[in-house]
């Protein structure tokens, strides 16, 4: 028996692979946060993050 081997070559612009892998990771983290904390918990975390981010920015002035 002979084994048929195929090779697929794709060309991407520089940075595309990193960008798509970043999107996949971000999507995974979003789904994980929703599964862990629920929709209201995710909104609460976003609010706390915004407040902390603003406070850190004010301290840095």
In tens digits, what is the pLDDT along the chain, a chain of 61 residues? 556 656 655 555 666 788 888 888 988 988 999 999 999 999 998 899 888 888 777 777 6
Give the span between the Cα atoms of 51 and 33, in whole angstroms.
Answer: 19
Give the span between the Cα atoms of 24 and 30, in whole angstroms.
Answer: 10
Name 45's Cβ contacts closer than 8 Å, sequence gap at least 6. 33, 37
pLDDT value for 39: 93
pTM: 0.50
Residue-range domain boundaries for the chain: 15-61
CB 33 within 8 A of CB 45: yes
């Amino acid at each position: 028996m002979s084994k048929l081997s195929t090779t697929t070559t794709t060309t991407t612009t520089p940075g595309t692979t990193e960008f798509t892998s970043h999107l996949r990771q971000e999507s995974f983290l979003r789904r994980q946060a929703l599964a862990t904390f629920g929709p209201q918990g995710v909104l609460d975390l976003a609010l706390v993050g915004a407040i902390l981010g603003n406070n850190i920015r004010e301290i840095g002035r």
